[in-house]
Structure 1
Amino acid sequence: MGLARGLNLQTWTPATGLRKLEDGRWEVATPRGTVVAGKVVVATNGYTAAILDRFRGVIVPLRGQVTAQRPGSGMPFGGCLPTTYSFIYEGGYEYMATRPSGSLFAGDVVIGGGLGKAEDGGLEEYGTTDDTSVNPTISEYLRGALPRYFGSNWGEDSPEGRVRAEWTGIMGYSPDGYPFVGEMPGQEGLWISASFQGHGMVLCWKCAEALVEMMEGRDGEELGEWFPEVFRLTEERMGKRFQGRLHTIAPASKMEAAG
């Protein structure tokens, strides 16, 4: 729809620089030339600090790893399980979904995580922006995880092999575990929607909708009815520094008090 209305979409064109011009507009540098606009949206997630230095230590990239595995012969529903799963344990977690019936590669199990199983709890994955390779320790763990989780319900591996594909992606993490959505303090015309803590498929669409409402001046009571205030970009939140992914877990004392 956007292309039909004249949107110019430049794929494989990285933004390499951003600066404010004397007339108040913003200039975005790319290998194909520059773009000048009165309003610019930075939706770069884990790569935000590369464009905006103020986000160094505020949005930290973290490489996540995922595999797609063919279902074992004993899996119920032909592997097309009716729900998603999270496996949470001390020091880490895995998340899992299966391809639905009727889809391409139906029954394939998509499982990601395993960070806590890497050396030093996956410390070397923090600050990593290379998504062209995988961590071999995490790879070995994820490739063997499903028979352990499903036990006898897994059965024999597919004759074509258990693992269909494996890949990595760069996520963006913030000090408090929430996205940054809104206009940069003191930088009129510069808007941000980033840092989705690995939950971009859930959060980014509504965050983008909220950002458009703000940009169009509709930042009132109606937006407040559904947009979490803790997601809003503020000077106070910009002053915090990332102290580790698990730093976002509530202390036991607070959990007990809440109970």
Structure 2
Amino acid sequence: MPARTQELPIRADNSSAAASPIAGTSKCLPSHMPGETFWQTSRHHLHDHRSSEELPSHSDIVIIGAGYAGVATAYHLVKDHPSLNKSITILEARGACSGATGRNGGHARPDFYGHIPTYMDRAGAEAGAEIAEFEIRNLRALKKTIEQEKIDCDFTLTRSIDVWCNADSASKAKAVYDRMTAEGLEYMEDVAFYTGNEVEGICGVKDAKACASFTAGTMWPYKFIMRLVELIVDAGVNLHTHTPATSVSPDGEGGFIIDTPRGKMHANKVVYANNAYVSGILPQYKKNIVPCKGICCRITVPEGVTAPLLNNSYINRTEDNVLSYLIPRADGSIIVGGAAAIFKKHEDQWYDNVDDSVLIDSAKDYYNNYMQRTYRGWENTAAKIDQIWTGVMGYSYDSNPHIGAVPGEKDQYILAGFNGHGMPVIWLSAKELAQMIVNDIPFEKTTMPRLFQTSQFRIDRALNGKPEDGDILGSGKFAATKP
């Protein structure tokens, strides 16, 4: 199915995004014509917002990127620090929440079985457990904020089910479960693991050999972020969409000059929250955070057909170990994506690629009849893809985000490189980063997992290593080194 395109958004000054001659011309800037996604079918009135006709000449804090990371950082700056008497400006290359956050699967799912054992092997059980526990707290904090701010974003707290249809993989997953349980980790008390003949009946996935369940969340990510945008704009944060930051340079007096196609502005502090595109301004992160495309779609049943009820979110692994993530929606539709094993060998279609206007060709048909071939009870529903899209994520060399003060650079901060796993970590990370910015405290004084800290060691390891030795394309041969 070909990617759908949309007309260029119209700005407040009645010009289109095409008016920026820089947008879409660099691998480190997003395409100016992203493919259509279900989440943004109805555009928010602040999607293309500019707080003023002219770019401000100065702002105390400039945040680059109006996705989850940038908006969450601004929210915590103004909400958690009400006495902060500083001007804040967000610069966004396209519309607000038009990048990975507005194109993902809506899954706020802590990581129990993915990389946690790897992190334990690399840095010890305590360091690995820090990440899992942080992500659990992140989910609870999200729920609390959504309730307190009365954000209408279809948030649900549910059980997420990990499913293995390959017998060997199921056995390895059970060994991981046993290992994690033996570690005495408190968060494992929320996990239930199943094997045997009844697994398929428990999870509803055909030919399932094992499954595990634990608490997770689902939401409409675009609605969540855009409500936060409303709140921060009302609080006085300046938002300038279709204004890509193309360079940041010192002014010689302790501040910074930020170049954009609309002119220059001055800042005292800069936050890089542009995820996959961060190396366009911070070249030292070129091999540390690489833009990688993923695929996601919405599946519906024909009018008059009642979709079988699914109450859980899923991570499904087929017999040939193709992984998909899935969330059900109250309207009966399904959001599903992943399939990286299908397109991984076609590197030109996804690796170091920022063109989210076209689909990943080798995987664009994978989700045809997905529900019928995967779930019991869906065989005769005629479920089919309603919309399909791509998104550009920032994948890090070692699978951990880069957060904190940019090494060797005063008053510059980074919050990027989420490996397609930003929903479970960004909210509290942004809260902690805001404390670093306001109170000038080091990373070690925050509650963030130690492996999230950006460092010169991590930067150099990626710059000096081969791509296939990292986690993105290879198996992470640096496992024996310190983080």
**Range of TM-score over shorter length:** 0.7 to 0.9
**Secondary structure of 1:2's aligned partner:** helix
Task: State the partner residue of 1:257.
Answer: none
- TM-superposed CA distance for 1:145, in Å, is 2.3
The answer (yes or no) to whether the contact 2:372–2:381 under 8 Å persists in 1 is no
Q: 1:231 to 1:155 in 2, by over 3 A?
A: same
1:110-148, Cα deviation, whole Å (9 max, x unpaired): 011112112726563110100011023211112232221
Report the secondary structure of 1:143's partner residue: coil
AA paired with 1:183?
Answer: A
Aligned amino acid, residue 201 of structure 1: M
Distance 1:197 1:39, change over 3 A: same
Superposed CA RMSD: 2.6
How many residue pairs get aligned? The number is 240
Measured after TM superposition, the shift of residue 42 of structure 1 is 0.3
Aligned pairs for 1:107-118 within 5 A: 107-118=332-343
How far does the alpha carbon of each residue in 1:200-253 deviate from its partner, in whole angstroms, 9 at most, with x for none?
2222222211111111234477623xx1011011111111224342646799x9
Partner of residue 150, structure 1: 375
Q: Post-superposition, which runs of at least 4 consecutive aligned residues in structure 1 deviate over 4 A?
A: 71-75, 89-92, 218-222, 248-251
Quote the Cα distance in structure 1 between the aligned partners of 2:312 and 2:473: 26
Q: Secondary structure at the match of 1:87?
A: strand
Aligned to 2:414: 192
Q: Which residue of 2 aligns with 1:39?
A: 269
Of residues 210, 214, 235, the one that matches 2:456 is 235
8 Å contact from structure 1 (residues 75, 154) kept in 2: no
Aligned partners of 1:138 and 1:206: how far apart in 2? Answer: 33
Structure 1 unaligned spans of 5+? 255-259
Task: Select between 146-155 and 9-18 the one with higher mean Cα deviation.
Answer: 146-155
Q: TM-score, normalised by structure 2?
A: 0.46
Q: Distance in 1 between matches of 2:348 and 2:472?
A: 10
Distance 1:107 1:246, change over 3 A: farther
Residue in structure 2 matched with residue 66 of structure 1 by the alignment: 296
Using the size of structure 1 for normalisation, the TM-score is: 0.83
Deviation (angstroms), 1:5: 2.9
Mapped partners of 1:122, 1:114: distance in 2: 14
Alpha carbons of structure 1 residues 44 and 96: separation in structure 2 relative to 1, 3 Å: same
- Looking at structure 1, the residues matched to 455 and 338 of structure 2 have their Cα atoms a distance apart, in angstroms, of 30
Is structure 2 residue 472 aligned with structure 1 residue 245? Answer: yes
Aligned to 2:431: 209
The residue that corresponds to 1:177 in the other structure is 399
The correspondence of residues 71-86 of structure 1 with structure 2, limited to 5 A, is 71=301, 73=305, 75-77=307-309, 81-86=310-315
Aligned residue identity for 2:284:
R
1:17 aligns with 2:244: no
Distance 2:444 2:272 in 1: 25
2: distance between equivalents of 1:119 and 1:2? Answer: 39
Q: Give the whole-Å Cα distance in 1 for the aligned partners of 2:378 and 2:289.
A: 41
Kindly state the Cα deviation for residue 167 of structure 1 after the two structures are TM-superposed.
Answer: 0.8
Change over 3 Å in CA distance of 1:136–1:16 after alignment to 2: same
| Partner deviation per Cα, 1:131-187 (whole Å, 9 max, x = no partner) | 0110232111122322211154342215xxx22211111001111101000011111
Q: 5+ unaligned residues in a row in structure 2: which ranges? A: 1-230
CA distance in 2, matches of 1:91, 1:128: 24
Deviation at 1:51, TM superposition (A): 1.5
The 1:92/1:65 distance shift into structure 2, 3 A limit, reads same
Asked whether the 8 Å contact 1:55–1:238 carries over to 2, the reply is: yes
